[in-house]
Amino acid sequence: MDPILPNTAFFRTLVLLSANRIEEAVAEAERGATLCGRLPLMTGLLGLAYGSAGYHDRARLVLSEYRPRARYVPPMPVALTYVD
């Protein structure tokens, strides 16, 4: 998989989270969120990584990104952020 694609970052983050490599998952999710222009699904995964790492303030900041959006935000990214 091409490392500059957002999809790669998404799946690498999932793998790192499942392997309990939390700090690496946070770094990968941050990279992915930047690559994709902060699309909701990737930022939801970023919120999950932050929560898993104990960075609850950062996870709340991710949630605050959804509020000012004029467009619809699917519930999945919000739910991912609340998981931990």
- Give the pLDDT confidence score for residue 81 in this predicted structure: 84
- Report whether pLDDT(11) > 90: yes
The first and second tokens of residue 69, run together, are 């959006």
pLDDT digits over 31-83, tens only?
A: 999 999 998 899 999 999 999 999 999 999 998 887 766 577 788 888 888 87
Helix axes 75-82, 40-53, angle to 10 degrees: 10
How is residue 68 annotated by DSSP? T
Element at 49 (helix H, strand E): helix 40-53
- Report whether pLDDT(3) > 70: yes
Full-model pTM: 0.86
Phi, psi values for residue 72, rounded to 5°: -65, 135
